[in-house]
Amino acid sequence: MKMEKKLIYLTTNKHKVEEANEFFSKKYGFNIEIVNPDFEILEIQAKTCAEVAKFSAKYAADKLECAVLKSDTGLYIEALGGLPGPYNAYFDKQIGIEKFLELLKNEKNRKARIEHCFAYCEPNKEPIVFSSGGTGRISFEAKGNCGRWHDKFYIPDGETKTLSELREENHEYESTFWGDAKDQFAKWYKENVTKM
């Protein structure tokens, strides 16, 4: 009997845990072990989520000596020169939603995009990154109770509601606005790793 390879998904976000468990096992039929790391995963200062996820996955895979999956999301606001970018959590912690929206209250250009990345890495190897995302705009006020801070003021193109409000109505529909990075990874993993 073939032993299933162990894959650890490192995250401290409980929403990601629930989603990942459901998504990978139900849709693709493979299991991942979700771990809240007991060590700090170094995150570099970088311009994109892909660079951050890539570095963190390699650092963790080498430290744990097993295959690791790490994800990262970013919000890029045109009027702020691409900020907060991959520094989402930092902006949330330092200034929060109200002060952040206050910064943009007189800004006419509300264009923004979101990015979602997954980085897979095996020990002593180079990481493989899967990226996707979408475009939208920043609302004038926060709406909704689900998700992370930016979900409450980011409205995807073609919609009138925030990601948070859309998630409350249908989380599968809301997840489509993040693109297909999860699917890209899952298909690649099934084809290249689980068949080995």
Answer whether residue 119 shows pLDDT above 90. yes
Q: What was the pLDDT predicted at 31?
A: 76
Other residues' Cβ atoms within 10 Å of the Cβ of residue 179 = 18
Per-residue model confidence (pLDDT) at position 2: 40
Sequence letter at residue 8: I
The domain limits of the chain are 7-194
Mean pLDDT of 23-27: 82
Instruction: Report the C-alpha gap between 92 and 99 in whole angstroms.
Output: 10
Are 189 and 30 a contacting pair, CB within 8 Å?
yes
pLDDT per residue as tens digits for the range 65-92: 989 999 889 999 999 999 999 988 889 9
Exposure of 80 in the CB half-sphere (CA atoms within 13 A):
21
Task: Indicate the range of 23-27, 33-37, 168-172 predicted with least confidence.
Answer: 33-37
pLDDT in tens, 124-148: 999 999 999 999 999 999 999 988 8
Query: 178 to each of 42, 48, 143, 157, 172, how far by Cα in Å?
Result: 24, 15, 18, 12, 11
Which residue's entry shows tokens 């930092």?
Answer: 90
Q: What type of residue is 1?
A: M
pLDDT category at 22 given cuts 50, 70, 90 is confident
Tell me which of 22-31, 45-54, 67-76, 170-179 is least confident.
22-31
Return the CATH fold of 7-194.
Maf protein (3.90.950)
When pLDDT is averaged across residues 101-109 and rounded to a whole number, the result is 95
CB atoms within 10 A of CB 176: 12
Question: Which percentage of the chain shows pLDDT scores above 90?
Answer: 60
62 as an active site residue: the answer is no
pLDDT of 4 > 80? The answer is: no
**How big is the chain, counted in residues?**
196
pLDDT tens by residue, 52-64: 899 999 999 999 8
pTM for this one?
A: 0.85
Q: What percent of the chain clears pLDDT 70, i.e. is strictly above it? A: 87
- Which of 150, 161, 160, 157 shows the shortest CA–CA distance to 177? 157
Q: Which of 38, 72, 151, 180 is catalytic?
A: 72
Backbone CA torsion sign across 183, 27, 68, 82: positive
Q: How confident is the model at residue 25 (pLDDT cuts 50, 70, 90)?
A: confident
